[in-house]
């Protein structure tokens, strides 16, 4: 496995756990090349026709929470629906990392995407991402929890038992795989990276989950929605891991477009998400395992407030260089 140790300062926290439950507003600003005239924290759609794009082929990417090959088939039916509604050819882009996904949108090679929870703020700030949808249950409820898991046969029963050992994280841009546990370990348990535990990166949630299940890692921070789908798919046994910490509920993957598609095209893409027939689809088969059965409208300003607060607690700056 390709592991990289995390520096202790990456886990620095700017305040107590109260920051995680909405008592402060994280500092957030768009890159200077964007404007936000209506105060919704999203890049405005350009008003000059010369700045708008209307590609013949739309490129879509899903956040790389697992091997992209797992999801190419899952999204096939949705992309056919997207093509019918927009009148465009649609291509699935199997991104291998959040960094590649962000860079593709910044460079104009990615038009529609689902960015993971933690990557949404930097995608909005630096790539002009305009999220408008999220998966939810039939009753409109949505979200997932960050869990810290250990092997099923581990003697550890609480976070304190992990002191002095190794904890695996996924990627810096992941909320449940890095940002939230970083703030929680520091503020709630007074555990400092490099002093109280040895931190490493696994690269993805499925790698962390399988690593714990196979006793490659003594502990890992993961999104429980990914674990649920893996268990349902038979990729990992339910009793191969156990939970020693569960967080509050966070918003899940946000779906949207790059800011400079024509307004008409952006509206058709939004229509495709909201009109997609879930029943009997591959999306329902896969994401129904974690209780998600429809797309609902979201507000980045409101629904991602807690995530921006976690970024502030971790000292995150949205550098777009």
CATH 3.40.190.10 fits 49-141+251-313, yes or no: yes
Evaluate whether 235 touches 178 at the Cβ level (below 8 Å): no
Distances (CA, A) of 213 to 149, 216, 228, 252: 9, 8, 14, 24
In the chain, what percentage of residues exceed pLDDT 70? 92
Of 165, 133, 148, the C-alpha closest to 255 is 133
**Residue 19: pLDDT band with limits 50, 70, 90:** very low
pLDDT score, position 100: 93
> How confident is the model over 89-124, as pLDDT tens digits?
999 999 988 899 999 999 999 999 999 999 999 999
65 — pLDDT class (breaks 50, 70, 90): confident
Which of the four pLDDT bands, split at 50, 70 and 90, describes residue 27? confident
Q: Region 241-247: what's the mean pLDDT?
A: 97
DSSP class per residue in 145-166: EEEEEEETT-S--SGGGGTTSE
Q: What does the block give as tokens for 295?
A: 């797309």
For the chain, where do the domains classified as CATH 3.40.190.10 start and end?
4-14+144-250, 49-141+251-313
Residue 3 has pLDDT above 50, yes or no: no
Task: State the DSSP H helix or E strand holding residue 271, giving kind and residue range, or none if neither.
Answer: helix 263-275
Say whether domain 4-14+144-250 belongs to CATH 1.10.8.60: no
More confident residue, 46 or 249: 46
Mean pLDDT over residues 215-222, rounded? 98
- The helix/strand/coil state of 316 is coil
pLDDT of residue 255: 98
Instruction: Kindly report, residue by residue over 300-316, the tens digit of the pLDDT.
Output: 999 999 899 888 877 87
Q: Please report which confidence band the pLDDT of residue 274 belongs to, taking 50, 70 and 90 as the band edges.
A: very high
How much is the mean pLDDT over the chain?
89
pLDDT band at 66 (very low <50, low <70, confident <90, very high): confident
Alpha helices in 20-151 (DSSP H): 68-72, 76-86, 98-106, 120-127
Instruction: Give the residue-averaged pLDDT of 247-271.
Output: 96
Q: Is the per-residue pLDDT at 17 higher than 50? A: no
Cβ proximity of 57 and 68 under 8 Å: no
Instruction: Output the pTM of the full model.
Output: 0.79
Q: What is the pLDDT, as a whole number, of residue 6? A: 32
Give 212-225 as a 3 state SS string.
Answer: HHCCCCCCEEEEHH
pLDDT bracket for residue 150 (50, 70, 90): very high
Range 121-149 average pLDDT: 95
The more confident residue out of 190 and 11 is: 190
Inter-CA distances, 269 with 116, 132, 163, 263, 273, Å: 19, 10, 47, 10, 7
């Amino acid at each position: 496995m390709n592991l990289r140790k995390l520096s202790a300062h990456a886990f620095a926290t700017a305040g107590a756990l109260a920051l995680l439950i909405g008592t402060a507003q994280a500092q957030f600003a768009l890159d200077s090349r964007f404007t936000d005239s209506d105060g919704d924290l999203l890049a405005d759609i350009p008003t000059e026709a010369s700045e708008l794009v209307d590609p013949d082929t739309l490129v879509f990417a899903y956040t790389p929470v697992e091997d992209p090959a797992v999801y190419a088939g899952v999204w096939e039916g949705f992309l056919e629906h997207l093509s019918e509604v927009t009148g465009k050819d649609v291509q699935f882009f199997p991104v291998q990392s959040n960094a590649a996904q962000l860079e593709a949108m910044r460079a104009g090679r990615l038009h529609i995407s689902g960015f993971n929870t933690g990557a949404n703020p930097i995608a909005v700030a630096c790539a002009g991402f305009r999220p408008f949808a999220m998966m939810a249950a039939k009753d409109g409820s949505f979200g997932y929890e960050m869990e810290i898991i250990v092997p099923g046969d581990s003697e550890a029963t609480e976070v304190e038992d992990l002191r002095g050992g190794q904890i695996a994280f996924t990627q810096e841009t992941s909320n449940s795989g890095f940002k939230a546990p970083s703030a929680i370990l520091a503020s709630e348990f007074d555990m400092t990276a490099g002093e109280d535990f040895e931190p490493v990166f696994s690269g993805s949630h499925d790698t962390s989950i399988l690593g714990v299940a196979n006793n490659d890692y003594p502990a890992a921070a993961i999104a429980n929605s990914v674990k649920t789908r893996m268990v349902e798919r038979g990729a990992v046994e339910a009793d191969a891991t156990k939970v020693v910490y569960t967080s509050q509920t966070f918003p899940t993957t946000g779906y949207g477009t790059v800011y400079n598609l024509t307004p008409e095209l952006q509206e058709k893409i939004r229509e495709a998400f909201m009109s997609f027939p879930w029943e009997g689809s591959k999306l329902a088969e896969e994401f129904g395992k974690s209780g998600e059965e429809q797309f609902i409208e979201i507000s980045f300003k409101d629904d991602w407030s807690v995530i921006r607060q976690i970024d502030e607690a971790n000292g995150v700056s949205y550098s777009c260089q």
